[in-house]
Amino acid sequence: MAQASRPGTFAPLQHTLFRDMWLASLISNLGLFILSVGAAWIMTQLTSSPTMIAMVQTALMLPVALFSVASGALADMFDRRKLAMIALSISMAGTGALTIAAHAGHITAWLLLLLCFVVGSGTALLWPAWGASVNEQVPNEVLPAAVALNGISYNVARSFGPAIGGVIVASAGSVSAFAIAAVFYIPLLGVLYRWNRKSEASRLPPESLGRAVISGFRFVLNSPPVRMVIIRTLVAALAGGSVAALLPLIARDLLGGGAQLFGLLLGAFGIGSVFGALNVGRLRAIFSGQVCVRLSSFGMGFAVVVVALSRLPILTGVALLLFGAAWTACMMILNVSVQMSAPRWVAARALASYQAAVAAGVALGGWGWGALANSFGVDQALLLSAAALIASPALGRWIRVPAIAGLAGGAADTLADPEMRLPLTARSGPIVIEIEYRVDTQQARLFYSVMQQVRGSRMRNGAYGWSIARDIADPELWTERYHCPTWHDYLRQRNRPTQAERDLHARAIEFHIGSESVRIRRMLERPIGSVRWKDSTPDPGATASEPMEPQIGTP
With a cut of 60, say whether residue 207 has pLDDT above it: yes
Calculate mean pLDDT across residues 5-34: 84
Q: What is the pLDDT of residues 129-141, one digit of tens each?
A: 887 788 788 887 7
- Same domain (yes/no): 217, 261: yes
State the Cα–Cα distance between residues 166 and 34, nearest whole angstrom. Answer: 8
- Same domain (yes/no): 191, 290: yes
What's the half-sphere exposure (Cβ side, CA atoms, 13 Å) at 415?
Answer: 18
- Same domain (yes/no): 336, 461: no
**Maximum C-alpha span of the chain:** 85
State the Cα–Cα distance between residues 64 and 70, nearest whole angstrom. Answer: 10
* Helix or strand holding residue 32 (H, E): helix 16-46
Helix, strand, coil distribution of the chain in percent, nearest 5: 70, 5, 25
Residue 464 falls in which region: left (phi positive, over 0), alpha (psi -120 to 50) or beta: beta
Calculate mean pLDDT across residues 165-192: 88
State the Cα–Cα distance between residues 354 and 237, nearest whole angstrom. Answer: 11
- Same domain (yes/no): 388, 420: no
Q: In this structure, is residue 535 part of a structural domain? A: no
Q: In this structure, is residue 1 part of a structural domain? A: no
Residue 269 — pLDDT band, cuts 50, 70, 90?
confident
Residues 6 or more apart in contact with residue 444 via CB below 8 angstroms: 470, 475
Q: Which of 234, 171, 188 is nearest to 37 (CA)?
A: 171
- Same domain (yes/no): 417, 334: no
For residue 354, what is the DSSP state? H
Q: In this structure, is residue 402 part of a structural domain? A: no
What percent of the chain clears pLDDT 70, i.e. is strictly above it? 90
- Same domain (yes/no): 391, 428: no
The DSSP annotation for 303-331 comes to HHHHHHH---HHHHHHHHHHHHHHHHHHH
- Same domain (yes/no): 369, 419: no
Sign, CA dihedral 431-435-436-440, equals: negative
The domain in which residue 151 lies consists of 10-196+208-397
- Same domain (yes/no): 240, 371: yes
What percent of the chain clears pLDDT 90, i.e. is strictly above it? 35
From 342, 365, 397, give the residue that closes a domain: 397
Residue 432 sits in a domain of what CATH number?
Answer: 3.30.70.100
State the Cα–Cα distance between residues 258 and 170, nearest whole angstrom. Answer: 8
- Provide the pairing of β-strand 464-470 with 477-484: antiparallel
- Same domain (yes/no): 146, 270: yes
- Provide the pairing of β-strand 519-524 with 477-484: unpaired
Torsion of CA 407, 232, 210, 485, to 10 degrees: 50
Q: What is the pLDDT of residues 324-333, one digit of tens each?
A: 999 988 988 8
The one-letter code for the residue type at 267 is G
State the Cα–Cα distance between residues 76 and 78, nearest whole angstrom. Answer: 6
What value does the mean pLDDT of the chain take?
A: 84
Residue 268 sits in a domain of what CATH number?
Answer: 1.20.1250.20
State the Cα–Cα distance between residues 140 and 48, nearest whole angstrom. Answer: 50
CB count, 10 Å around CB of 313? 18
Q: What pLDDT, on the 0 to 100 scale, is given for residue 350? A: 86
With a cut of 50, say whether residue 547 has pLDDT above it: no
Q: In this structure, is residue 165 part of a structural domain? A: yes
- Same domain (yes/no): 416, 386: no
Q: In this structure, is residue 65 part of a structural domain? A: yes
- Same domain (yes/no): 121, 213: yes
From 397, 427, 443, give the residue that closes a domain: 397
Residue 534 — pLDDT band, cuts 50, 70, 90?
low
Please state the domain count of the chain.
2
Sign, CA dihedral 476-482-488-492, equals: negative
Cα Rg of the chain, angstroms: 26
- Same domain (yes/no): 343, 438: no
Question: Is this model's pTM higher than 0.85 or not?
Answer: no
